Chain A
Amino acid sequence: MSTATPLAANDKAANAAPADALQAWARTDWPGHAAPSPEQTAAFERFSALGLPHRRMEGWRWTDMRGALRAYAPDASTGATAESAPAAVIEPSIFAGLDPIEVLIVDGVVDLSALPNDMPSGLSIEVGPSQSLGAEFDDHGLAALTEAMSDGAVRIIVATGAPVERPILIRHICAGTSPAVAQTVSSVGENASATIIETFEGAGAFYSYTHKIEAAASSAVRRLVWQDVSADTVFNGLCTIAIGAEAKFEQTALATGGKLSRQETVLFYEGAAIEAHLNSAALLSDARHVDFTSRIMHRAEKCVTRQQHKAAVRDRGRAVFQGKFYVARGAQQTDADMQANALLLSDAAEANHKPELEIYADDVECAHGSTAGALDEEALFYLRQRGLSADAARGLLIKAFVGEAIDGLEEGEAAVFQAEIDRWLAGAGARAE
């Protein structure tokens, strides 16, 4: 975990306008918001002290949230509310074909109207109070901001033993000029299973999201994330997952960027023999920026972690990967592997990788690898000799490279992601553009 420090006085002076602008928005009497709870008031105070994360903080040196929002001045006269949410026609989700149970969140405003009358047995979805991510995140400025400004968290509860077959889709649309926040809290009971898909799309200003997942012992939770906000949108997503013994967790994330975007995932292993797979792919063009940051806290014995990150970067895109495996003293026989590979498709493309191992147990197998490079010229020549055009050969190699990150998905899910990879290869921007 990076340690946030309050803005120094001179920083405050240098950045008075943006910090004040966002902090002026982050106030208790914002139009349309309910009165804050005592916890939210405390979160306000934490955010005021911490400010936005910036590049002088260890975990944010490549992803300067404060810098990206420097010129941003929220309009203090309006705020998104259930009444003011845009009435524009929203196209069906790219995951619609998987027949998901859908929750729509437009600029932080939750719409449960699409929930089916016949909810699967053992599943409930409702809106509850705002949610703290816990003391571990007290020094996280955006966690504090999101909690403080939240109008309530979507609560997904999967009862003990319930296998929820239909995927649950939490669909976020960024649409306004005001900042927006959203929260989800998920609880998956023992021996239960669920697939939660989260998508972030549209053209907004600044969107911050937290998701707190509790996966009980022997549960199986799958999480798919698709992030495709416009090139002007600043986005931050933070997901924490506490996992019980013998549970399985799989996460596959695909991101095409935004002006500056970050997906942070923190796993806490609370019991033995947990198995987790984390796959991510960043596809970047223009001057987009995607940051995948993760921290896996191995706190129990015999847990297995497999993490694979792929980034394909063209133009002046910038891909950041920061992965940390922490292995506590008692977490013997941990078996963990982290691989991050970047494909740089232009001279100005950039990838910043920071794989880290912090190990306090002596009977573990932990490995990490990191590569960055251009397409293999020998492979390109081979494919072209077989008849593929230069573009087709490049496309095939890029697809093959990125495709490894979606290998573990079910057929229908993989097809959705594959179509998005094809769109990107064809040169398309975000769907909202």
Chain B
Amino acid sequence: MLKIDNLHVAVEDAQILKGLTLEVPAGEVHAIMGPNGSGKSTLSHTIAGREDYEVTNGGVTLNGEGILDIDPDERAAKGVFLSFQHPMEIPGVATMNFIRTALNAQRKARGEGEVSAADFLRLIREKAKLVGLTDEKLKRPFNVGFSGGEKKRMEMLQMAIFEPRFCIMDETDSGLDIDALKMVGDVVNALRSSERGFVVITHYQRLLEHIRPDRVHVLAGGRIVKSGGPELAAALEESGYDQFIEAA
């Protein structure tokens, strides 16, 4: 599924990722944990295609196909989805219209037919219920006036609607209360399948109580410095990241 090989990324001339290698097979959920500034968000934005992040070495493939040379929207159509750590507020953009436009743009790029307005309405209502967003919220301009938690629900709503092949969740748990954490777990668990992969970036173990990862990796100093099973997350909660910062 997703293979990251010796990835080096510079942001504004600062080398952030320094040889990151990671493989997430289809059907698995991998958690990436690590201290602030270790490169977690740089990794997620690079996979999604942020143009001002410069890949200086290494590669990323999805199902064997290199994705670093294609545009962010083409990556989205191939099934790459990033749940943003800080989702945008976009005044003047009608939420439902935007999500439907995005869904149909992805489908068109894949050679699939458009979803009709009626079918989309049914779909978004069903998924909105799942993530706990009211009709009133869907009628607002995109994320305008939303709390941090509501913005994360909007990210989960889109993930549930797009059904992407590979999901990167960048600190989706930050700022969420217990109920919202459970909701995120429910969305991810409902989407888990043998054909879909997940990278869940988090600082804390609590989200991983709802989403049991297959593998846990520690990212420090721009590299994966330790990998293990779910028990590694619990150990990190106890020991912290100091040992890895020093090693990096």
Contacts and interface: CB of A to CB of B under 8 A. Distances in A.
A388 B92 contact: no
B91 A389 contact: no
Given A377-B52, A396-B98, A396-B101, A385 B90 contact: no
Interface stretch (B70-78, B192-200, B238-246): B70-78
Contacts of B45: 381
Interface string B60-95: 000000000001110111001110100110111100
A388 B76 CA distance: 9
A384 to B, nearest CB: 4
Interface string B156-176: 001000100000000000000
A397 interface: yes
Interface stretch (A6-14, A152-160, A399-407): A399-407
Interface residues of A, number: 23
Contact of B93 (A378, A389, A396): A396
Given A382-B88, A396-B93, A397-B90, A390 B98 contact: no
A392 interface: yes
Interface in B23-45: 45
Contact of A403 (B75, B76, B92, B99): B92
A356 B102 CA distance: 41
B49 A387 contact: no
Contacts of B84: 382, 385
B202 interface: no
B158 A382 contact: no
Interface stretch (B103-111, B125-133, B222-230): B103-111
Contacts of B99: 386
Q: Which secondary structure dominates where chain A touches chain B?
A: helix
Contacts of A76: none
B50 A388 contact: no
A379 interface: yes
A384 B87 contact: no
A344 B109 CA distance: 30
A385 B105 contact: no
Contacts of A388: 73, 101-102, 105
Contacts of A392: 101, 105
A384 B92 contact: no
Given A392-B105, A396-B98, A396-B101, A384 B88 contact: no
A128 to B, nearest CB: 43
Contact of B102 (A376, A387, A399): A387
Contact of A382 (B52, B75, B87, B92): B87
Contacts of A389: 71, 73, 105
A381 B50 CA distance: 7
A271 to B, nearest CB: 34
A325 B81 CA distance: 48
B181 interface: no
Nearest to B51: A381
B77 A404 contact: no
Interface in A349-398: 376-379, 381-390, 392-393, 396-397
B218 interface: no
Contact of B90 (A377, A379, A384, A390): A379
A385 B167 CA distance: 12
A379 B103 contact: no
Contacts of B158: 386
A382 B99 CA distance: 12
Contacts of B141: 400
B109 A387 contact: yes
Contacts of A401: 92
B48 interface: yes
Nearest to A378: B88
A59 B206 CA distance: 63
B20 to A, nearest CB: 20
A369 to B, nearest CB: 14
Contacts of A404: 91-92
A401 B93 CA distance: 9
A376 B88 CA distance: 10
Contact of B76 (A377, A384, A390, A397): A384
A387 B87 CA distance: 16
A397 B126 CA distance: 28
A401 B91 CA distance: 8
Nearest to B86: A378
B92 A387 contact: no
A385 B106 CA distance: 10
Contacts of A400: 90-93, 141
A382 B73 contact: no
B41 to A, nearest CB: 13
Nearest to B93: A400
Nearest to A405: B92
Nearest to A381: B50
B91 to A, nearest CB: 6
Most B CB within 10 A of own CB, among A383, A385, A389, A399: A385
Contact of A385 (B52, B72, B98, B109): B72
8 contacts: A378-B88, A382-B90, A383-B90, A386-B76, A387-B73, A392-B101, A396-B93, A397-B93
Interface of A: 376-379, 381-390, 392-393, 396-397, 399-401, 403-404
Given A386-B158, A403-B92, A404-B92, 8 more contacts: A383-B90, A384-B72, A385-B49, A385-B72, A385-B76, A386-B99, A386-B106, A390-B73
Q: List 7 tightest A-B contacts by C-beta distance, closest first.
A: A400-B92, A387-B106, A386-B102, A384-B72, A387-B76, A387-B105, A387-B102
